[in-house]
Amino acid sequence: MRGDELVPRFLGEGDHPWLRLLLEEYDRFVGRPQRELDERVSEPLDGCAAFDKQRLAAFVLRRLSRAGAKSAVPPVRARAVVFGEAARRLEPRENILASAAASVDVSPNALEASLFADLPGERLVAALERPPSPLELALRANLALAQGFLARASAVKIEMEGNARAVVRHAKLRGLICRVARLAEVADATMEISGPYALFRHTLLYGRSLGDILPLLSWCRRFRLRADCVLHGRQRAFRVASGDPIFPASEPRRFDSRLEERFARDFKRLASDWDVIREPEPVEAGGGLIFPDFALQRRGDASRRWLLEIVGFWTPEYVARKLAQYRAASISNLILCIDADRCCDDGDLPPHALVIRYRRRVDAGEVVRRIEAAS
């Protein structure tokens, strides 16, 4: 912590020696109860100066592992039998265990060992399927650390290059408010994301959704994120940017939907002299940015370029506003594909717009005919 800035103490190369120790300790405890491992790693490891780092790494490692219950009798059944027997008969403990064990056909010792074998601390540590290297463990711990801060955030501000669309979509799906504005020279898009309620109070209500944005960002060419967090009742800023040692999430799905994927495939097959560019540069319009789904580019002829957007749910006003937005940005080479089944009103669409209705599948042939005819 420095002033009102939260400075995360990311794990780095200097931490690798004790991370290696931690992984070795884990291996040593394979087959033993989880609580024994927990107890061991609750003591500082050699060379680990900051215990909170060790706790974090141990927590992340535990999340990667899957401790399994192993017992002669399923523990739930063991409990039902033993405790039922104990309530029925006023006899010493050994007699009760013995007769309960006889009823399920195991030894009393095996039955007793089964009683709580499924409790979190009693489960047996299992070998990791794919043991992480100290470096991977450090990066994973850093991701958890950063997400932990974001969970205490009420709003984030992001400057980013590429992949902006996935972030906007995530925000919209989670009911967050996303204000997008362009910032010349510095990056492609600047956006501010916060929830409706953040207007009234610094609320942690959206922390989970805001934290989920971080893995999406690791697939940007470049990003800078600043979050307003509350920690111990005080407001602080948290910054993270591309280049920070954070575990990258798995690559986001290339296409938002099967619909779009199918269109791209169909179009490529039908129009071999056109390139399909997925998620082209956003278009500046009316103080905000709009994100077309595709750019269709005639190979060898830069002047023949179309933008295409596939719209699911729509109203005539929505389509009109969308077109007005594109017109304001002086873009006329636009195709809107609208779902014929999901309009909420059959009002008239703007007559001059290049609108293609679709049902379940965007007709790539129709798109090819239209753009060939128009140019």
What is each CA distance from 118 to 83, 97, 103, 125, in whole angstroms?
Answer: 16, 19, 21, 12
Q: List the one residue from 3, 46, 90, 302 that touches another protein (CB under 8 A).
A: 90
CB contact at 8 A, 238 and 226: yes
Binding positions for another protein, 198-257, rule CB under 8 A:
199-201, 203, 205, 232
Q: Is 98 in the site for another protein (CB under 8 A)?
A: no
- CA angle (369 as vertex; 366, 373 as ends), nearest 5: 145
Going by C-alpha positions, the residue among 194, 248, 187 that lies closest to residue 223 is: 187
Q: Which residue number, 92 or 243, has a Cβ lying nearer to another protein? A: 92
Backbone CA torsion sign across 237, 241, 245, 247: positive
Q: Which residue number, 59 or 197, has a Cβ lying nearer to another protein? A: 197
Q: Is 80 in the site for another protein (CB under 8 A)?
A: yes
Q: Is 313 in the site for another protein (CB under 8 A)?
A: no
* x/- letters, 146..185, toward another protein (CB under 8 A): -----------------------------x-x-x------
Q: Which stretch binds another protein (CB under 8 A): 142-150, 193-201, 267-275, 343-351?
A: 193-201
Q: List the one residue from 14, 47, 83, 268 that touches another protein (CB under 8 A).
A: 83
Binding-site size for another protein (CB under 8 A) equals: 34
CB contact at 8 A, 289 and 181: yes
d(CA 178, CA 175): 9
Token digits of residue 10: 């990311």
Backbone CA torsion sign across 252, 258, 259, 264: positive
* Shortest distance in whole angstroms from residue 329 CB to another protein: 20
* x/- letters, 104..123, toward another protein (CB under 8 A): -----------xx--xx---
Q: How far is CA 275 from the centre of its chain?
A: 30
Q: Which stretch binds another protein (CB under 8 A): 194-202, 249-257, 269-277, 281-289?
A: 194-202
d(CA 92, CA 277): 78
Q: Which residue number, 116 or 219, has a Cβ lying nearer to another protein? A: 116
Token digits of residue 261: 């994927």
Helix H or strand E encompassing 98: helix 93-104
Q: Is 7 in the site for another protein (CB under 8 A)?
A: no
CB contact at 8 A, 190 and 157: yes
Q: Is 194 in the site for another protein (CB under 8 A)?
A: yes
Residues in touch with another protein (CB under 8 A): 51-52, 76, 79-80, 82-88, 90, 93, 96-97, 115-116, 119-120, 175, 177, 179, 192, 194-197, 199-201, 203, 205, 232
